[in-house]
Each structure stands twice: as C-alpha cells, then as structure tokens.
Structure 1
Amino acid sequence: MRLWVTGNGTDNEGRKQVFGRWDKAKLPDGREVPVCFNLMNPDGTYESEVGPPGYARLPRQMPVVAVRRFVFED
C-alpha cells in the first residue's frame, strides 16, 4: 500500500487530503495477487481530525473502492 498526503492543511479546517492505493494483496496461503484499490474514492479522503505537520490522522477502518487501473499525473 502507498499513501500520499497533500500539504499540511488543504481545506478550511486545516485537514490534509490523503490518497491511498493498494497494488497487491497477500492471500492467507502466502501468495500475492495484483489488485487496484483506492482509499475511499479516486479523489482521496480528508483526515478525520487535524494531525501534526507531516502526518495525517485517519480512522482505523476506511472504505476502499476497486478501480480498473491507476492513472498517475505529474
């Protein structure tokens, strides 16, 4: 899994936007398979409460959505 956090406060409440992507899953038998999941939605999610600079605070459980592929833009 990879997480990206935007800046140190991107909305009116100072929360950071977080993007999460999974590119593989490990099965109980130890095999790894390719997957494409985004944390919450393709637009990411905002931290649940304002965390310190360089960190983001998220709940322990978050929904994920399957996607066909990842599109990375510079």
Structure 2
Amino acid sequence: MALAETLHFGRAVERMNMSQPPFSRQIAMIERTLGVKLFERSSRNVALTPPGNTSWKTVEMCWGSLKTPVEMSGWLPAA
C-alpha cells in the first residue's frame, strides 16, 4: 500500500520503517506470486501499471471497508 500511495521507494520504505533492499524484494515477490508486474520502475520514477492500478483500486475499496472496524477493535490506532 505504501508504494502505491507514494509512488516513491524512499518515502514508502520510510513509512514502512524498512530498508529499501528488503522492501524491493517483497514487491518483486508479490509480483512473481501474482504473475503480473504491478509497478513500472525507472531510476527516477515509479508508476502503477494498468494491472497495478486495478489491483490498487481493489485494495483501497477493501481497506476502506475494513479500516473502521479494525480501528474500533483497537488493532490499529485511529487516523
């Protein structure tokens, strides 16, 4: 979620409190598992691919449905 929201590896890893190599490996593993490239990467830019954009919209809808009950349960601090 962090990379799709920020479209920036540096900000995403900071937000996830990770270093970039393991974060990049996790993204690559997700893409391999799904069999689709979610992000287009260059030395300066990160962009969602069409399948990545579709996946991100689905994740946003699911998270929107879960966020309030999760916050109310105490598992996650309210934003």
* TM-score over 0.5 (shorter chain): no
Which structure shows the higher helix fraction?
2
Which structure shows the higher strand fraction?
1
Higher RCO (C-alpha under 8 Å, 6+ residues apart): 1
Q: TM-score by structure 2 length?
A: 0.27
